[in-house]
Amino acid sequence: MDERVREHAAVLVDWSARVEAGDDVVVSVGPDAHELAVAVAEELGDRGANLLATYSSGEVTRAYIRAHDGDFDESPAHERALVENADVYLSLGGGRNTSATADVPGEQRRAYNDARSELRETRLGTRWVSTVHPTRSLAQQANMAYEAYREFAYDAILRDWESLADEMAQLKDLLDVGSEVRLVSSDTDLTMEIEGRTAVNSAASVAYDSHNLPSGEVFTAPYATEGEVTFDVPMTLRGESVRNVRLEFENGEVVDYDAEQGGAVIGEILETDDGARRLGELGIGMNRGIDRYTDNILFDEKMGDTVHLAVGRAYDACLSEGESGNESAIHVDLITDVSENSRLEIDGEVVQRDGTFRFEDGFDG
Amino acid sequence: MDERVREHAAVLVDWSARVEAGDDVVVSVGPDAHELAVAVAEELGDRGANLLATYSSGEVTRAYIRAHDGDFDESPAHERALVENADVYLSLGGGRNTSATADVPGEQRRAYNDARSELRETRLGTRWVSTVHPTRSLAQQANMAYEAYREFAYDAILRDWESLADEMAQLKDLLDVGSEVRLVSSDTDLTMEIEGRTAVNSAASVAYDSHNLPSGEVFTAPYATEGEVTFDVPMTLRGESVRNVRLEFENGEVVDYDAEQGGAVIGEILETDDGARRLGELGIGMNRGIDRYTDNILFDEKMGDTVHLAVGRAYDACLSEGESGNESAIHVDLITDVSENSRLEIDGEVVQRDGTFRFEDGFDG
């Protein structure tokens, strides 16, 4: 086994999920994530945790949903009981075809996802972490050769997370005391309120309220957004290519949008519900192990020199106890490159210019 | 998808497990049983049952057990909760290497299996069915080419089960009213008591107390065994080749044994506990879709023209309410060919000669 697979498993189990002896761990295994599952099993055995592996296959889900009449049971007893009794939930993504569910009709998909919302909420109550095993299908989606993609993925995953957490804490501190953020670049001039909101230092560990491996971003929940923003990082949303989306905000809501490509998908997303027209997240990518777009949100949104905004649901971790942030059935991230002709201000003070932070060498305020 | 995979899934879901709308179904998927899992998911969706897929990999289990200190938790809460809330448990076997766990030390394996005995009992309380997807590793174990193995496996699995059940009922009736069975062939002369015991018409359906697909045998729980028996069907037990095992019984217990090959494994099995020296099962193979040995007990013991005996645990279905049959931690089947120079008697009356039953054409009593 490639030593990097073992290192990936160790980071996931120790740093990310903080697994301890006696923990009841669910490991969700994608069809091509077998090798990582073996490495994770070894780590869990070594730590004396209890392993139950589930099988997560887009092809299985597609067959099930398409054959069903659409009246899905809400939260089936056996699956609910499993998740309710789990301490840790590790999702090891990795299929053979990233378009495996492309022909599941939207209405069926929504009915299935709606029925599973209680299950999803319960899972979010565990120490959950999502990661991916670098597969050929992900390499293909990234337009990369397999070996090169593996180099890329492990560069992103096998960071010195403790050191990155310290670095990111400096940005979190600036956001936590700030009231207003302004993002300015060639096609963007956007202001957002963040007063009263708490930023998350997303260091790929449940100990930091961070549930992705890789991670490496600082994010908060903005409101009262005004102005225009263009997202120039290409991506695929709901199976459609999306390029250069432009959103215009007034009083916190999207009042106009267009896109060079994929405008129909953006329109559909914004129509989901009221919350889908407001921002749920402002995230600032700080993982410099990620140096290229690979059309995979797990990686792209963490990339150094990028900022992302999500329309839809805000994360509870950014809100005060009992506060309700933006509510929506969706959370869709869009990304903009800030490596050139760009600045991020907090309360009028530049904290990042052309990708370099004020607490880094070479910062030119 | 090969139409036979769909037919296999339909037989499993409808005939074998009797799945109904709203059933909470656990589907345990081997790494190479993916295609069957997709077909089963389609059947379950169509019937409105609830699907939770688990991943059952010898390599994952090996890694976990070997890394563990051996003090395994008994019945972890999350897995117990899952199984307790399942109505149906479908095991789709099929790995990439039938020797995947060959280097797990026996002591570790026993500790793991012992810890999971409560889980196993709970699973036996569901409508459980074990089947296999024909894989290349199973073809290799059978010393067969892959395509030929698939033909073989589907011949065994895609029977007219209702008609076979009717045929097998005739043998069950003879065994149920009988008191003593005698098996005679060139190296065998064995008598067993069966008075008071109930035979199972194992027709590959939970409706018949039958939990294997394929099945096709009638079995009961004998006692007070006397005489000698030689098992001439070759098999692999605990990773070792076993050939021509001879057991000698007195007062129901094995008093002597030898084997042309694998004697040490047989000795180890017989030493497990007191019950391991007594018979737990007499089974008569009646699946004529199975026409060759493939070193896989799921198929071999169901083959027409064979009789098998198991040392160790008896099945509850053969016992009266509350009766305790032979108890043991093990149940190990051994098989003998009865196609030639052979007869099976019940209370002195020949019911099978050279493989042909008294209720069949060509029987020569």
Question: What number is the ipTM of this complex?
Answer: 0.93
**Inter-chain CB proximity A68 and B48 less than 8 Å:** yes
* Collapsed DSSP state (helix, strand, coil) of residue B223: strand
pLDDT number for residue A106: 87
- For residue B34, the distance in angstroms to the closest alpha carbon of chain A comes to 8
Residue ending a domain, among A157, A191, A222, is: A157
Over the stretch A217-235, which tens digit does the pLDDT of each residue have? 999 999 999 999 999 999 9
Q: Is the same domain home to B115 and B25?
A: yes
- For residue B89, the distance in angstroms to the closest alpha carbon of chain A comes to 11
The answer to whether position A364 is within a domain reads no
Q: Is the same domain home to B233 and B312?
A: yes
Q: Percent of chain B at pLDDT above 90?
A: 96
The answer to whether position B62 is within a domain reads yes
pLDDT number for residue A227: 98
**Inter-chain CB proximity B42 and A24 less than 8 Å:** no
**Inter-chain CB proximity A79 and B46 less than 8 Å:** no
Q: Is the pLDDT of residue B45 over 90?
A: yes
**And the tokens for A294?**
């690979």
Q: Is the pLDDT of residue A365 over 80?
A: no
**CATH number of A43's domain:** 3.40.1830.10
Residue with tokens 């017989």: B270
Distance separating alpha carbons of residues B355 and B363, to the nearest angstrom: 9
What is the rounded average pLDDT of the residues B168-176? 97
Distance separating alpha carbons of residues A90 and B31, to the nearest angstrom: 18
The answer to whether position B220 is within a domain reads yes
Let me know: does A131 contact A8? Beta carbons within 8 Å. Answer: yes
Q: Is the same domain home to A153 and A241?
A: no
pLDDT number for residue B234: 95
Nearest CA in chain B to A25: B78
Average pLDDT, chain A: 96
The answer to whether position A185 is within a domain reads yes
pLDDT number for residue B56: 98
Distance separating alpha carbons of residues A343 and B134, to the nearest angstrom: 60
Distance separating alpha carbons of residues A299 and A131, to the nearest angstrom: 10
Distance separating alpha carbons of residues B30 and B196, to the nearest angstrom: 39
Backbone angles phi, psi at A294, to 5 degrees: -130, 15
Mutation pick from B24, B64, B73, B88 vs chain A, by most beta carbons of A within 10 Å, is B64
Q: Is the pLDDT of residue B291 over 90?
A: yes
Contacts of B27 in chain A (CB under 8 A): 55
- For residue B201, the distance in angstroms to the closest alpha carbon of chain A comes to 30
pLDDT tier at B239 (50, 70, 90 boundaries)? Answer: confident
What is the rounded average pLDDT of the residues A52-73? 98
At position A225, the amino acid (one-letter code) is T
Is residue A183 classed exposed, middle or buried when 0-12, 13-18 and 19+ CB atoms within 10 A define those classes? Answer: buried
Q: Is the same domain home to A114 and A216?
A: no
The answer to whether position A363 is within a domain reads no
Is residue B30 classed exposed, middle or buried when 0-12, 13-18 and 19+ CB atoms within 10 A define those classes? Answer: buried
The answer to whether position A362 is within a domain reads no
**Inter-chain CB proximity A50 and B41 less than 8 Å:** no
The answer to whether position B362 is within a domain reads no
What is the rounded average pLDDT of the residues A65-69? 98
What is the rounded average pLDDT of the residues A185-190? 95
Nearest by CB to B85, which of A38, A48, A77? Answer: A77
Q: Is the same domain home to A216 and A240?
A: yes
Q: Is the same domain home to A142 and A35?
A: yes
Q: Is the same domain home to A59 and A47?
A: yes
Q: Is the same domain home to B114 and B174?
A: no
- For residue B51, the distance in angstroms to the closest alpha carbon of chain A comes to 8
Per the structure, how many domains does chain A have?
A: 2
Nearest CA in chain A to B32: A31
pLDDT number for residue B250: 98
Q: Is the pLDDT of residue B125 over 90?
A: yes
What is the rounded average pLDDT of the residues B145-164? 98
Nearest CA in chain B to A83: B78
The answer to whether position B136 is within a domain reads yes
CA distances, A171 to each of A79, A159, A326, B342 (Å): 40, 18, 23, 85
pLDDT number for residue A272: 92
Over the stretch A139-154, which tens digit does the pLDDT of each residue have? 999 999 999 999 999 9
**Inter-chain CB proximity B73 and A22 less than 8 Å:** yes
Residue ending a domain, among B157, B189, B218, is: B157
pLDDT number for residue B238: 86
Over the stretch A85-120, which tens digit does the pLDDT of each residue have? 999 999 999 999 999 999 999 899 989 999 999 999
Q: Is the same domain home to A59 and A127?
A: yes
Residue A106: other Cβ atoms inside 10 A: 9
Q: Is the same domain home to A220 and A283?
A: yes
Q: Is the same domain home to B255 and B339?
A: yes
- For residue B62, the distance in angstroms to the closest alpha carbon of chain A comes to 8
Nearest by CB to B45, which of A46, A63, A86? Answer: A63
- For residue B319, the distance in angstroms to the closest alpha carbon of chain A comes to 31
Domain around B28: 3-157
Q: Is the same domain home to B134 and B207?
A: no
Mutation pick from B60, B101, B112, B119 vs chain A, by most beta carbons of A within 10 Å, is B60
Residue ending a domain, among A125, A157, A189, is: A157
**Inter-chain CB proximity A78 and B38 less than 8 Å:** no
Mutation pick from A35, A55, A116, A133 vs chain B, by most beta carbons of B within 10 Å, is A55
